[in-house]
Amino acid sequence: MTFLTILVAPNLSPSQHRQAVRAGPPAVSARHDHRRLLCAAGFGDIEEIDVTADYLKTVRAWLAHASSREGQLRAVMGDALFEDRQNDRRGQASAIERDLLRRSLFVARVA
């Protein structure tokens, strides 16, 4: 199995952890780390590849390109959805820049 996911950075203070959870996608606040979850599900030989730099580049690209087409996007998405999405992206970009959020590629095999 292989998957890409966004996760809260390790070793954060409680305040930083709350900020990361607020800025990240809805289910970013996993109770256990992904390695532990994979092991519990019977997977082993787990490899994690950090792709956070690419994640920041993608979030910034969404922000910039969506801003440059703001009028057209508001017309097709509606104001509320457009603003929600842009606010999400701003929050994520800020959290990545402050090392609160990361993105990883996990690879695991059935143990």
Partner 1 sequence: MPTRDEVDVIQRFGQRYRIATPVTAELERAVLGTDYGANGYAPLTQAEMLIDVLALRTGDRLLDVGAGCGWPGLYIATRTGCDVVVTDLPMPGMHRARERIHRDGLTASSAVVSTARHLPFRPGSFDAIVHTDVLC
Give me the least distance between CB of 59 and partner 1, in Å please: 7
Q: What's the first-to-final CA gap in the chain, in angstroms? A: 11
Give me the least distance between CB of 94 and partner 1, in Å please: 15
The residue among 19 and 24 lying less far from partner 1, judged by its C-beta, is 24
Query: Residue 24 interacts with partner 1 (CB under 8 A)?
Result: yes
Cβ atoms within 10 Å of 73's Cβ, excluding its own: 18
DSSP string, 1-17: -EEEEEEEPSS--HHHH
Query: Residue 23 interacts with partner 1 (CB under 8 A)?
Result: no
The residue among 39 and 107 lying less far from partner 1, judged by its C-beta, is 107
Q: Residues 34 to 93: which contact partner 1 by CB under 8 A?
A: 34, 49, 51, 54-55, 58-59, 61-62, 65-66, 69, 72-73, 76-77, 81
CA–CA gap between residue 62 and residue 69 (Å, rounded): 11
Q: Shortest CA distance to 102 belongs to which of 66, 49, 64, 37?
A: 49
| 81 phi and psi angles, rounded to 5 deg | -65, -40
- Footprint of partner 1 on this chain (CB under 8 A)? 1-7, 24-28, 30, 34, 49, 51, 54-55, 58-59, 61-62, 65-66, 69, 72-73, 76-77, 81, 103, 105, 107
